[in-house]
Amino acid sequence: MNKKATPTTRPFSGNLDAASHTRGQSLYLDDIPEYAGTLYARAFSSPVAHGRIRSLDCEAAARAEGVVRIFTWRDIPGENQVGNIVPDEPLLAEEEAHYIGQPIALAVAETAEAAEAAARQIRADIEELPAVTDAREAFRRGQLLAGSRRFEMGDVEAAFAQCKYIFEGTAHTGGQEHVYLEPQGAYALPREGKVFIHSSTQGPTQVQRAAARVLGVPMNQVEVDVTRIGGGFGGKEDQASPWAAMVALAAYILKKPVKYILSRHEDLLMTGKRHPYDSDYRIGLDEGLNILAYEATFYQNGGAAADLSPAVLERTLFHATNSYYVPNARLTAHCCRTNIAPSTAFRGFGGPQGMFVIEAAIHHAARSLKVDAADIQQKNLLEDGHVFPYGQVVRDSEARRCWMENIKRNDIAALRDEVRQYNASHQFSKKGLHLMPVCFGISFTNTMMNHARALVHVYSDGSVGISTGAVEMGQGANTKMVQVAAREFGLRLEQVRIETTNTTRVANTSPSAASATSDLNGKALQDACGQVRERLFGLVREALGLSREDTIGLRDNTVRVNGEEQDMSWQQLIQLAFSRRINLSAKGHYATPEIHFDKTTEKGHPFAYHVYGTAALLCTVDCLRGIYSFDAAHIVHDFGSSMNEGVDLGQVEGGLAQGMGWMTMEDLQHSPEGRLLSRTLSNYKIPDLYSVPAEVTVHFLGSEGSERAIYKSKTTGEPPLMYGIGAYFALYGAILAFNPEAPRLYHAPMTPERVLGLLYGEKMRGNAG
């Protein structure tokens, strides 16, 4: 048999969309030319967090100028339901409202202004009911969105009995707003026998499924198309569905195109955020600082509907021990129902919340024992042969290598000396340094979602068109898919065109999420290209009279035999194949092998591979004002064999900034009545150029990579965000340098207000003691 073509095209570094982005030529949802007669929608939402809807008065709104129709749940021809994992989320509220911002009615008008004015004229008589916004309180009341889960390994209580040191406490991590550049939105067009939806979504198939459910039609009567989206970070994985279903409903009934793009204020008010968590921990160590036992209980604030909370909760448990071997662990998680907007996916998908708690426990232990947290961290790093609490055996661990490489490359010992000298000579300015290791599993934890398909056409002139299930949202997915096709056929990147992500061309897709997009879709595309290539190789073998032992390849637009260039170009080969009526199209499929997980035993092998890394973060705190800056972040990251260093580097830098924002400044708050207090970008701060470290260095570890990754190029989407957790503990180090008796507080984010309280011993809200 012929050997597969060896990748020969020189690696490209960068994003193919960069030029069109810079020129303002890239098309997003609101750039799509509108059809004549397009109508515009606007939702009327609940003004209270919990209440019984007594009546809804839409008469004045319906009579307003330019208004075409007001829709309520009674107008839905199918099922009033957009819940994915759990069917508990109506598209439009019926008898009760469960959070401020929950859609109750939809105004459709001839202009966006008229739709907005109509929505303001709708009146609802709502009997207010008690609201719950705290996860622990919801748990006490028995308000759960899904069943609780527990991962357990070893004999936890016997191990604690053997520990010399035991520490316990609580931790809190707040929510986080996605603040994608492009708000949620969709544009629906009635077509013969179907509804066509342009959607700003990470999950076209989920939008298709939800819209079909609401309309009461089969999925083949709904087509969803995505050119690209202006950022997602998980916020458009499940929560793009309601807005698409709304415009689909209106377009289906009115037989007119209908468009709805949320304003920034609407998006902040009505959409879900990263899950806030309250957690309890207990950690036990022996005299040599080995972690013998660890117990954690997580109270997840899932909001008013399940959304993706059960899956997020599961990934929290999967990552609750981070990069450490814990032979005896008991990890419990509760999915709590509260009266805030349904919490949803966000980069890291529950993993960061779990990691923060064990880092807090280690910090607690280190402070009490008067040792550096790094001593405990380094002592317990994962090695091959160790077992995760969920049963998967560690293979190809790069945890210790990343750690040691960072210490050596960045001379951490010298940095620590500099910090000590600085702190000794500055009374009201202190520095802190912290190392943050990361171990992140790659795959959808729901095994059935780990599959993808791709379509490839080689046209008769030699140009190539590809379609995959990957959604481009700024992460470079399109660029990597083009690279795959070019590499498989030995072409230049400009000879390959990637089409929009479309549910008719590529059906039953998993969302672009879980850091699995490039691997799943890239390998499906590799399979499709391979099918076409093997047909071409058969033709080459016949045309050139080659034996079965001869090796055929494609490189630089020419055919190679045994590495030697032949007098046959790519274009000549394709023309010959076309004349011989050879199929130049293929549909590829890929399903991740080996992975499995049994939820009855909470054991299995859920991940294709793990990504490792270590970050060292250095900060300076102004001890008079509580403000701070970050001097440096030095990262050693396990990229595997990167297929695009420019894109991968950008992912690491962006993930770091987003993680630092979550840990330091993004203080998402709700009032006890369920009102979002940080509902504008004037009082909800996100990182800017001045918030990131003055110096960021990223070292490519140079590991071999994993066969489960496309070309052994490990994914970079989510793991870098967790480096930001180190920012919290770097700040804590600087605080303790100023006030060694500062309260013990593991309550993120570490805002300047919180810093100031710790500097001067104030008992602030959270775990102080």
Q: What b/e string do you get for 43-82 counting C-beta neighbours within 10 Å, with b at 16 or more?
A: bbbbebbbbebeebebeebeebeebbbbbbbeebebebbb
Backbone angles phi, psi at 119, to 5 degrees: -60, -35
Please report the sign of the dihedral spanned by the C-alpha atoms of residue 611, residue 612, residue 613, residue 614. Answer: positive
Is the previous residue joined to 47 through a cis bond, with omega within 30 degrees of 0?
no
Q: What angle in degrees, to the nearest 10, is found between the helix axes of 412-425 and 399-409?
A: 60
Q: What is the DSSP string of 158-206?
A: HHHHH-SEEEEEEEEE-------SSPSEEEEEEETTEEEEEE--S-HHH
CA distance 388 to 610: 12
CATH (residue range 32-130+178-270):
3.90.1170.50
Backbone angles phi, psi at 214, to 5 degrees: -70, -40
Torsion of CA 337, 340, 341, 345, to 10 degrees: -60
Is domain 277-445+600-760 given the CATH code 1.10.10.10 in the classification? no
At residue 328's C-alpha, the angle toward residues 322 and 332, to 5°, is 65
Asked if domains 277-445+600-760 and 451-591 share a fold, the reply is yes
Length of the chain: 769
* pTM given for the model: 0.96
Provide the 8-state DSSP code for 676: B
Nearest to 300 by CA among 331, 269, 268: 331
| Separation of first and last alpha carbons in the chain | 70
CA distance 79 to 204: 19
Q: What is the pLDDT of residues 121-169, one digit of tens each?
A: 999 999 999 999 999 999 999 999 999 999 999 999 999 999 999 999 9
Nearest to 225 by CA among 240, 213, 235, 214: 240
What are the counts of helices (DSSP H) followed by strands (DSSP E) for the chain? Answer: 19, 30
Active site residue 718: yes
Q: Which of 488, 718, 741, 753 is catalytic?
A: 718
CA distance 172 to 703: 35
At residue 250's C-alpha, the angle toward residues 341 and 58, to 5°, is 70
CA distance 352 to 6: 38
CA distance 762 to 767: 12
Provide the 8-state DSSP code for 602: T
What tokens appear for 624 in the block?
């008079």
* pLDDT at res. 679: 85
User: Structural domain boundaries of the chain?
Assistant: 32-130+178-270, 277-445+600-760, 451-591
Can you say how many angstroms the Cα of residue 431 is from the centroid of all Cα atoms in its chain?
Answer: 32
Which residues does 368 contact at the CB level (< 8 Å), separation at least 6? 165, 167
At residue 399's C-alpha, the angle toward residues 397 and 402, to 5°, is 120
Torsion of CA 530, 531, 535, 536, to 10 degrees: -30
Q: Are strands 464-468 and 185-191 parallel, antiparallel or unpaired?
A: unpaired
What would you measure as the largest C-alpha separation in the chain, in angstroms? 84
CATH (residue range 451-591):
3.30.365.10
What tokens appear for 313 in the block?
């909760």
The answer to whether the beta carbons of residues 428 and 621 sit under 8 Å apart is no
Nearest to 664 by CA among 584, 735, 753, 595: 753
Q: What is the DSSP string of 598-623?
A: ETTTTEEE--SEEEEEEEEEEEEEET
Beta bridge partners of 123: 57
Low-confidence ranges of the chain (pLDDT < 70): 1-10, 762-769
* pLDDT at res. 762: 56
CA distances from 643 to 453, 484, 650, 714 (A): 21, 9, 13, 9
- Mean confidence (pLDDT) of the chain: 96
The answer to whether the beta carbons of residues 213 and 222 sit under 8 Å apart is no
Nearest to 272 by CA among 136, 98, 448: 98
In sequence order, what E strands does 248-288 have? Answer: 258-261, 277-285
The answer to whether the beta carbons of residues 71 and 20 sit under 8 Å apart is no
CA distance 184 to 544: 55
Which residues does 682 contact at the CB level (< 8 Å), separation at least 6? none
What tokens appear for 664 in the block?
């330091």
Q: Which amino acid is at 215?
A: L
The side-by-side arrangement of strands in the sheet containing 194-199 is 67-71, 103-109, 39-45, 258-261, 185-191, 194-199, 222-226, 501-502
Q: How many CB atoms lie within 10 A of CB 561?
A: 16
Q: Are strands 747-748 and 165-173 parallel, antiparallel or unpaired?
A: parallel
Which residues does 122 contact at the CB level (< 8 Å), separation at least 6? 44, 56, 57, 58, 60, 61, 70, 104, 105, 107
The answer to whether the beta carbons of residues 566 and 509 sit under 8 Å apart is no
Backbone angles phi, psi at 442, to 5 degrees: -110, 115
Q: Tell me, letter by letter, the H, E, C secondary structure of 491-532.
A: CCHHHEEECCEECCCCCCCCCCCCCCHHHHHHHHHHHHHHHH
Instruction: Name the one residue in this structure whose structure tokens are 């492009």.
Output: 182
The side-by-side arrangement of strands in the sheet containing 496-498 is 496-498, 464-468, 451-458, 585-591
* pLDDT at res. 11: 72
Backbone angles phi, psi at 67, to 5 degrees: -80, 130
Q: Are strands 258-261 and 39-45 parallel, antiparallel or unpaired?
A: parallel
CA distance 45 to 262: 13
CA distances from 525 to 450, 451, 471, 585, 589 (A): 15, 12, 14, 12, 8
CA distances from 241 to 207, 303, 607 (A): 5, 17, 27
